[in-house]
Structure 1
Amino acid sequence: MDLPVMPPVKPMLAKPVKKIPPDMQYEAKWDGFRAIVFRDGAETELGSRTGKPLTRYFPELVAALTACLPERCVLDGEIVIARDGHLDFDALTERIHPAESRVKLLAERTPASFVAFDLLALGDDAYVDRPLTERRSALVEALSGAVPPVHVAPATTDPELAADWFRTYEGAGLDGVIAKPLDLRYRQNERLMFKIKHERTADAVVAGYRFHKSGPIVGSLLLGLYDEAGALQHVGVCAAFSMRRREELVAELEPLRLGADEEHPWAAWAEESAHESARLPGAPSRWSGKKDLSWVPLRPERVVEVAYDHMENGARFRHTAQFRRWRPDRAPESCTYAQLEEPVRYDLAEVLGG
């Protein structure tokens, strides 16, 4: 492979802002695997955000990209999987599997798509030092003949349309809106774009905590919500405390630590089979590797208000939740899934056809 831009490439990033900024190019924020595609003739490679290859996990996508893309090019975009008109991140994570037979099976059952939103190289020319407007125009022209599962991300310079996308596209599983300065050059691993994400709040039960990697202080709080059957389900974690606050939380939560004779709703967390029927902390994962997933169980008596962007399959917080305040006025049993706001359903096909 011999291209003007060679792997590995660390993609350009975005920093969070509260409002959609004016006078920019706007795109939907996709919830998938960021990927850099390198094609040189018969060779097509997929690079991840960290630079590690993704090629072997998406053979059906490699074949589609080789068929659709220009002979020699480098693209930035997102690998996604859709089910019933909605992005499915769980199905995407299942694709990262060591067994070739499993990868082949999943490629048939849950085929992936690629949504291109930037052009880094075409033919013998690198485009990284050209402004976004020029890169976008070249991208649209280069992929004019592309067919599903290869797509060009919809883009607009109309902030009102971007605001409409922000409201409606969440119903298809998208994550918000990305804003890009029109004269922006492509700079690897730099936060030069802007992301506007959904934020909601929920009251959750604190049912345990994990220690911080630096020592015996709180790393993250384990959060739970009660389902319709009255079972406490693990829905994610709350983190991002200062080091001083992490130390204080150990003493603050000490009265809630379970005694040796007390039972915890998530007592079976270490048993792999238990995760099949309940959402528990510490589920086996190819992503966690040898990471210590043990935790300190607490009596589920304390309620915290957290901010979150959206739920994954309606079951858990997609990303780490942010602490807002303690809620001593709330009973733990009142912290149910019923409080969560569900976005109006929107068909992903309408997004990709926009």
Structure 2
Amino acid sequence: MLARTANVLPEGPHWRYEPKWDGYRAIVRREGEVRILSRSGRRLEAAFPDIAAAVGAALPPGTAVDGEIVRWSAEGRLDFSGLQRRGHSGPQAAQRLARTEPCHLIVFDLLRDGAAEFAARPLDERRARLEELMHSVGEPALMLGWQTGAVDVARQWFDQMWRVGVEGLVAKDGRGRYRPGRRDWLKYKRRVTTEAIVGGVIGGAGDPRELIVGRRDSQTGALRVVGRTGGLDPAHRREMARLLRPCGGEHPWPPTLPSRWGSSQDYARVVPEVVVEICPDSAQAAGRWRHAVGYVRPRTDLEPADVPTDLSIEG
């Protein structure tokens, strides 16, 4: 189940509020084996053996939960870069990092409990049973996500928890069913971010000074240029250089940039396979973001197919 952006935090007796954790979304199933699935369907248990072991030890067979895998830094902040390092580690490195850089699964929804399916039940009923289930869990890698029905408490979280990397709040109707793929939840963030696909750079794949980003056209499926970042700082240039590959064959974009994107000097096309999180403003023109979009970070947990189409900010 997904969330859509809200510009105003909803209020009312049926609304429930949770922190918006900055991590990897995961559906976790404890059946004959533990299966941890990313939003794109990628298996994650090999990359997070510590979480898989904790789920196997603490949750009864037949349990399915929704949650967020997070990594806390030594300073007590959410560490997305460290989480990505964990998420893309090989089997041997994953075992080592599980000991030196442990992660946690923050559980916030219950989909199945033994033979009982819970997705069609109201959120308040799912939450009550989840709290009972998590009450007896002694595994430190598994945590029950916070939830409140008090809007003043939620606003306090919003005002204070950004210091540790919490992105904002998710608001959910306590009467609502769990409907996979539906954007019935609301996300209320301190800043609006979204995702795009890197299709070109200013500089080169080995030293990108700026990124040219694209989105699929919702009508034709074609990858269109929709934005250009400002200049990347040295750390971000190195970060992206490790992920980008120069285009060695066919590419959906021409070898030169359209004139409206400014100078094409040093423009190079790259394989359009890397997803980045960006922070655009509201100014749009001719199906593109008119001003430079802010670069936030790579999203190696997402595939190009996960990126919204056109200029939608829903991710």
Cα drift, residue 99 of structure 1 = 2.6
User: Are 1:70 and 1:142, in contact at CA under 8 Å, matched by a contact in 2?
Assistant: no
Aligned match of 1:320: 278
**CA-to-partner distance for each residue in 1:185-221, whole Å, 9 max, x for gaps?**
01111111111011289xxx99463566777963430
SS at match of 1:179: strand
TM-score (ref. length: structure 2): 0.69
Aligned match of 2:301: none
Aligned match of 2:260: 252
| 1:156-167 to 2 correspondences below 5 Å | 156-167=148-159
User: Aligned partners of 2:236 and 2:97: how far apart in 1?
Assistant: 31
**CA-to-partner distance for each residue in 1:244-273, whole Å, 9 max, x for gaps?**
xxxxx822234x333xxxxx7xx9x9xxxx
Match status 1:80 vs 2:70 = yes
Match status 1:153 vs 2:145 = yes
Rate the CA distance shift 1:109–1:212 in 2: closer, same or farther, 3 A. same
Q: 2:8 aligns with which of 19, 29, 34?
A: 19
User: Aligned partners of 1:164 and 1:115: how far apart in 2?
Assistant: 20
Q: Which runs of 5+ in 1 are unaligned?
A: 1-11, 237-248, 259-263, 270-280, 283-289, 294-317, 327-336, 338-354
User: Aligned partners of 1:257 and 1:142: how far apart in 2?
Assistant: 58
Match status 1:116 vs 2:107 = yes
Cα drift, residue 98 of structure 1 = 5.9
Q: 1:192 aligns with which of 176, 181, 184?
A: 184
Identity across matched positions, percent = 31
User: Are 1:224 and 1:235, in contact at CA under 8 Å, matched by a contact in 2?
Assistant: no
User: Aligned partners of 1:216 and 1:178: how far apart in 2?
Assistant: 30
User: Aligned partners of 1:191 and 1:232: how far apart in 2?
Assistant: 32
| 1:217-232 to 2 correspondences below 5 Å | 218-224=225-231
User: Are 1:86 and 1:173, in contact at CA under 8 Å, matched by a contact in 2?
Assistant: yes
Cα drift, residue 291 of structure 1 = 3.3
Cα drift, residue 73 of structure 1 = 0.8
Match status 1:209 vs 2:201 = no
Cα drift, residue 43 of structure 1 = 2.1
Q: 1:44 aligns with which of 4, 10, 34?
A: 34
Tell me how many residue pairs correspond in the alignment.
Answer: 248
Amino acid at match of 2:145: A
SS at match of 1:155: coil
Amino acid at match of 1:122: D
Amino acid at match of 1:68: A
Q: Which runs of 5+ in 2 are unaligned?
A: 194-201, 203-208, 241-256, 285-293, 295-315
User: Are 1:222 and 1:234, in contact at CA under 8 Å, matched by a contact in 2?
Assistant: no
Aligned match of 1:34: 25
**CA-to-partner distance for each residue in 1:38-66, whole Å, 9 max, x for gaps?**
113x6211111122221111111111112
